[in-house]
Amino acid sequence: MDNNLSRGQSATESSGDGQLAAPPPVFSIGEAEALARDYFGLIGTASPLTSERDANFRIMHGAGSHVLKVANPAEAPEVTNLQTMALLHIERVDPGMPVQRVLRSVHGRHEEILKDAQGRPMVLRLFSYLEGEPLSQMPRSTAQRRAIGSALARLGLALRDLSHPAAGHELVWDIKHAGRLRQYLPYIEGDDRRALVERVLTAFDRHVQPVMSSLRWQFVHSDLNPSNVLVTKERPDEVAGVLDFGDMVHTPLINDLAVAASYQLGQEGNPLIEAGDFIRAYHETNPLTALELELLYDLIGARMATTACITSWRAARYPENRDYILRNAPRAWAGLKAFADMPRATAQDYLHRLCGA
């Protein structure tokens, strides 16, 4: 997977399934080059970037590179606009934050509207290209985990005052909807695995759902997985970029940390040991409340259960793309097993001590 592209698995329908099922729009290299030229004045060579949701191209030209993106017509324009406005907001309030910039067209707009064959709108945008190596391809370290934790906390602070009409849009990946995941249980192969997920969902219903309204709510990135973080090749402990705002949602702030922490878990022993570096650095930049610390264990588990459920469903529905869909599933299953072996009270005590609470 090339960097600077968006996975973009937003869901705008109430069920959340329709958007995940819609194929990306199709554009040839020649058409992409023409869009870059006609709308942005860029004369360059296009090369496609892999994406499940959108049509993405890297445009290489004399002054460097940019990313041309045509949003999936199944995504509501106001949801696409949320991502655009979030990047513009970050540029204003924290200009040093390493995220992509949204460029204006020759008409002075950050978004241009195209039409597909059925007349549905498709949003066309041009982004800056961030240099760096995907975290998924680089060695890990304590310093690196701390840097990523600080970066996510800083991003949350930058987004805390963002408001947008799309605050109510739904995303099936959003942890606040974990209680709906039982519809996907029949797609999980193996009684033991289904039991692991059911245990997590029961804990969510018991501990998280009743107090969710008391948490801090705001727009968050919601998908800081290793493919969405760039680090400097020569200095892999430094964050060079945060990509993919396609999963942005208005949700409890702690959910953003839970999503990211699920990708920082150790695979042996206490699963929170390695994630602890990340969580503590986040807390030092954007302190967690007592309630957020109390629920973090449940929410990390809910994220892994979400990954297990949705990817199992999608792999069954699209067997030809099974390997790509399930690329993050092994880590989720390993994490769920490790969590099953760690009592909730033990995890909570560890997290409280970790953050000095």
Convert the pLDDT of each residue in 179-212 to its tens digit.
Answer: 999 999 999 999 999 999 999 999 999 999 999 9
Residue 50 counted as domain residue: yes
Beta-bridged to residue 231, according to DSSP, are 133, 239
Is 287 a domain residue? yes
Query: What residues are paired with 66 via a beta bridge?
Result: 59, 128
pLDDT band at 10 (very low <50, low <70, confident <90, very high): very low
More reliable by pLDDT, 79 or 328: 79
Terminus-to-terminus CA distance in the chain, angstroms?
Answer: 40
How remote is the C-alpha of 344 from its chain's centroid?
26
φ/ψ of residue 72, rounded to 5: -60, 135
Q: Is residue 7 part of a domain?
A: no
Do 90 and 233 lie in a common domain?
Answer: no
* Residue 246: CATH number of its domain: 3.90.1200.10
pLDDT at 21: 58
39 and 172 share one domain: no
Q: Which CATH number does the domain housing residue 79 bear?
A: 3.30.200.20
In a domain, 102, yes or no: yes
> Residue type at 246?
G
Mean per-residue pLDDT, 242-264: 95
Confidence band, pLDDT 50/70/90 cuts, at residue 16: very low
Helices (H), ranges, 234-328:
253-261, 272-285, 290-317, 322-325
How many structural domains is the chain composed of? Answer: 2
Proportion of the chain above pLDDT 90, given as a percent: 75
Indicate the residue among 130, 154, 186 that finishes a domain: 130
Please tell me which residue, 223 or 24, carries the higher pLDDT value: 223
Same-domain check for residues 159 and 184: yes
Task: State the average pLDDT for the chain.
Answer: 90
Q: Which residue has the higher pLDDT, 137 or 93?
A: 93
Of 112, 130, 148, which residue constitutes the final position of a domain?
A: 130
pTM greater than the 0.85 cutoff: yes
Tell whether 102 and 147 lie within a shared domain: no
Distance CA 37, CA 31 (A): 10
- d(C-alpha 338, C-alpha 267), whole Å: 8
Domain range for residue 179?
A: 134-354
* Residue 20 confidence (pLDDT): 56
Instruction: For residue range 167-186, list pLDDT tens digits in order.
Output: 999 999 999 999 999 999 99
The answer to whether position 311 is within a domain reads yes
Identify which of 92, 128, 98, 125 has the alpha carbon closest to the alpha carbon of residue 109: 125
